[in-house]
Structures are given as structure tokens and as C-alpha cells.
Structure 1
Amino acid sequence: MDSSFTPIEQMLKFRASRHEEFPYQEILLTRLCMHMQGKLLENRNKMLKAQGINETLFMALITLESQENHSIQPSELSCALGSSRTNATRIADELEKRGWIERRESDNDRRCLHLQLTEKGHAFLREVLPPQHHCLHQLWSSLSTAEKDQLEHITRKLLTRLDQMDQDGAVLEALR
């Protein structure tokens, strides 16, 4: 069975055969990472959909569950999810509608609102996490521990470089 990446790889090989200066390996690795990220997200969304939730709501619940008192301010949730405050409000509305969170005034400052994970939210996470962990073990079982460590090291190294390029404005410089 051909890989879902085969058509992209064939196209890249064709371009490389026509253009001497074509950075084949760099483009191949970039496209491979992007393709794999898309497949990981697709796989994850299928799993979450079967459990009646999407990635954004799930990550919001995990973020709340990971806090000291299972409580967070909407602005902190927005920052943690990398979304706008407006979108964080929509997320909180949906979580509240499902009974997984409650909005509460701060004990210290009545003007300050906190999103609090409810027992129903905790119960939902206890239900959905074991099957997700099983799927993740199944996915990553194709790699040895050493290979996973190596992939983590390489991925972190590339991420550090991407962060550095963002700070340096290297991408914009290359376009000039």
C-alpha cells in the first residue's frame, strides 16, 4: 500500500529532476512534517469526535484540570490555548453549557471571573482519557524508546530554530 505522502514525494522528485538548485531534502522534510501533523490532527479529531468533543474543548478542559484549584481566568485560558479572548469566551460558553465548568467570582476580587472545572467535567475527563492514552500508545508503539527520544530531540531542535528565526525576522529577511 502506498503512503498517503507518495503523491507529494513524487511531485517533489519531479521538480528536483527539473531544477538543479531545488533544495529537495529540505522541502521533503518540511512537507513530511506538515503532512504528518495533518494526519496526527485528523487522527486525533476522529478519536475526540467519537467521544463527543473537539480538540479545542478538550485542551480547555485539560488546561483547567492542570491548574492548582482546577480554576483559571478567561484571559489565562485564552493565552494557554493561543486563541482570542472572544474565542475563549465561546469555548467557556460551550463548556458551561455541557456542565463541565462553572463561572465563579473571585474570592479576592468580585470583578474578577474564574472558570472552575465541575465534578461533571472531572468525570468526563476520567472517562475519555484512558481510550485516548490507548490510541496514543498504539500510534507511538511503532517507534522504539530510543527512536522516540531521538525524534523528540530533533523536533525540539527544529522548534528552537523556528522560534529563533521568528525572533530574528529571518523569514522576512529571506524574502527581501
Structure 2
Amino acid sequence: MVKIEEAIQQKEFKDPYNKVVVNLLYTNSFLVTSQNALFKPYGISPEQYNVLRILRGQNGVPTTVSSIQERMLNKMSNASRLIEKLKLKGFVKRSECPNDRRQVDVLITEKGLKILTELQLKVEKGNKMFVHLNIDEVNQLNDLLDKLRG
């Protein structure tokens, strides 16, 4: 186990709150880097994977770009750009919304569903590999993170 002080070569922190924020940011970077490596052979990013999972959860019902944006893990992601990249790869279809021509409906394709199926076991295995905690610690951390967000 490498402590945050060693990882970023800092002797001490101003206070424990500063340390936990730095630790969370550093850990986020670690997880994103790990996920990038997992998704790279498939030509997608973690954000694109998130969009595909949101669309799969729609069970064949088209949804709007703004609805996808609201549900994304990273609220700073550009959903329109991500969807366009996924469209070019054949993982999603876009169509004009019949009720409102200004809106675009997005639907996952069979190819998109297939890549999610291929990735599912790898992601589950990767999650267990990236998170060096036992199940009780994972549950405790989940509770603490929920509490942290208030």
C-alpha cells in the first residue's frame, strides 16, 4: 500500500480535509487511467462507455442528448461529441425527434450492445483488481462516499 504522501511526494498536509480531497482526486486519476487501459483496445473512452450503459438501460427506447447528459457520471463531458464519436463507430443511431425537430433521439445499436457484452466481465474483473479492498471495506467506503456528498 502506497500512502498518498509517498505517491505525490508530500511530507504532510495542511489538515485532514485537505488530505482527503487530494487523496480522492489522486484516486480518481488512478481509476480513470486504469479504465482507459481497459477500454483502449475497444477504441472507446470511459465516458463513451458510460453513454453506452445509459443507452442500454433505456431498453430500446430512444432518449435525448440532454437526458443522457443529466445521467452521466462526469457532468463536464460533452455528450453531443461523445455520441457523435459513438455514431461514427456504429455503436449508436441518432434521429430527429418526431415531436420536436430541435431535439435528437439517440438509440444504442446491436453493435453497441455487443461491445458492452464483451466488456462486462472485463470491467467487473477490472473493478475488483483496481479496488484493493475486501467486500466489507467496499461497502463501508460506499457508505462514506455517499455521506461525503451529503
TM-score tier after normalising by the smaller chain length: 0.7 to 0.9
2:6 maps to what in 1?
6
When normalised by structure 2's length, the TM-score is 0.82
1:55 maps to what in 2?
46
> What is the alpha-carbon root mean square deviation over aligned residues?
2.4
> Does the 8 Å contact 2:5/2:12 carry over to 1?
no
Decide whether aligned partners of structure 1 residues 9 and 28 sit closer, same or farther in structure 2, where only a CA change above 3 A counts.
Answer: farther
d(CA) in 1 for partners of 2:117 and 2:90? 15
Decide whether aligned partners of structure 1 residues 48 and 7 sit closer, same or farther in structure 2, where only a CA change above 3 A counts.
Answer: closer
2:129 maps to what in 1?
138
> Does the 8 Å contact 1:106/1:113 carry over to 2?
yes
Decide whether aligned partners of structure 1 residues 12 and 80 sit closer, same or farther in structure 2, where only a CA change above 3 A counts.
Answer: same
Query: Counterparts of 1:75-114 in structure 2 under 5 Å?
Result: 75-81=66-72, 82-83=75-76, 87-106=78-97, 109=99, 111=101, 112-114=103-105
State the aligned residue count: 147
Q: Which has the higher contact order (CA 8 A, sep 6+)?
A: 2
When normalised by structure 1's length, the TM-score is 0.72
1:158 maps to what in 2?
148
| Larger-gyration structure (1/2) | 1
* Runs of 4+ with >4 A deviation: 1-5
* Equivalent position SS for 1:11: coil
d(CA) in 2 for partners of 1:110 and 1:31? 44
Offset, 1:83? 4.4
1:46 equivalent to 2:37? Answer yes
Decide whether aligned partners of structure 1 residues 116 and 145 sit closer, same or farther in structure 2, where only a CA change above 3 A counts.
Answer: same
2:20 maps to what in 1?
29
Higher helix share: 1
> Does the 8 Å contact 1:78/1:88 carry over to 2?
yes
Offset, 1:93? 1.5
d(CA) in 1 for partners of 2:21 and 2:46? 24
d(CA) in 2 for partners of 1:68 and 1:132? 21
> Does the 8 Å contact 1:73/1:113 carry over to 2?
yes
- Percentage of matched positions with identical amino acids: 22
